[in-house]
Structure 1
């Protein structure tokens, strides 16, 4: 059996124990409730991967979505990365929509839990990917600082950036200003994705992860078509 599929199966089996308090996607039901966790929708739910339209008429550009998100997806899929642990994010929704078709894709309710689960996969010989928004990046800092960074556990972080141009929302400005300095302070290499350089930038990040370290790819608010 393919090692990534086996790992994914083991993770699913482990999560079936309710005492762990994990939230995960369930293919044959709309919602699964686990004690001590929030209710989370299955991966095909519009709550998890919202349509490319935001409240107040803010919309995604369909052309940009099909271009940049697909380029990132293909660059990831062409490399031996996985499993994928993602927290819901509107900016990343076009990419998550494509990744959710994978058997090793998991929706996780908290960013620190996603990092913890990814570390287990990495210790099992995998090259995991964690996807999150920087508004929740703060939840993962302790896990990154006390486990991932000091022991250089290999994984790829894909972090969408709120609070930077063209996102004017004041409640996100703090993390917009702090995300890159925090990564620098932890010694985690990072790159801001540019549409014309996606393949090259993913290749560089993958080389870092394959070499046994952690790396981050940052996604601008408008890369996949989001606009305020």
Structure 2
């Protein structure tokens, strides 16, 4: 999903995580991460890491130089379905 869609999903994710103990691996695009995107993406792009931290969602940014390590790290944070983890992909990455 785009990072803007993550904002719409936070209440559902919180319910899944806290109430039903259902955890998902998420792949989220990081639009506006460099402040050089459409204005509607710049705010969520600037705040994405802090937002994920506030909601207690561990996250990993795709490293295009070592994608296997990035995926492995994200799956370790997912912990076999015991935690929701977010795999963040930068535009062009």
Residue correspondences, number: 91
Q: Map 1:67-216 onto structure 2 (within 5 A).
A: 132-148=1-17, 150=18, 152-165=21-34, 167-209=36-78, 210=80, 212-216=82-86
Q: Quick one: structure 1 residues 143 and 217, their matched pair in 2 at CA, closer, same or farther if it must change by over 3 Å?
A: same
Alpha-carbon shift at residue 207 of structure 1 (Å): 2.2
Structure-1 separation of matches of 2:5 and 2:84: 18
TM-score, normalised by the number of residues in structure 1 = 0.37
Determine if contact 2:31/2:45 at 8 Å carries over to the other structure: yes
Unaligned regions of 5+ residues in structure 1, if any? 1-131, 224-228
Structure 2 residues without counterparts, runs of 5 or longer? none
Contact map agreement 1:163 1:173 (CA 8 A) in 2: yes
Are the aligned partners of 1:134 and 1:175 in contact in 2 as well (CA < 8 Å)?
yes
Q: When you count helix as a share of all residues, which structure comes out higher?
A: 2
1:165 Cα deviation from its structure 2 partner: 2.1
Q: Which has the higher contact order (CA 8 A, sep 6+)?
A: 2
* CA RMSD of superposed structures (Å): 1.8
Q: Give the 4+ runs in structure 1 shifted more than 3 A.
A: none
- The residue aligned with 2:89 is 219
TM-score, normalised with respect to structure 2: 0.83
Measure the CA separation in 2 of the matches of 1:171 and 1:156.
25
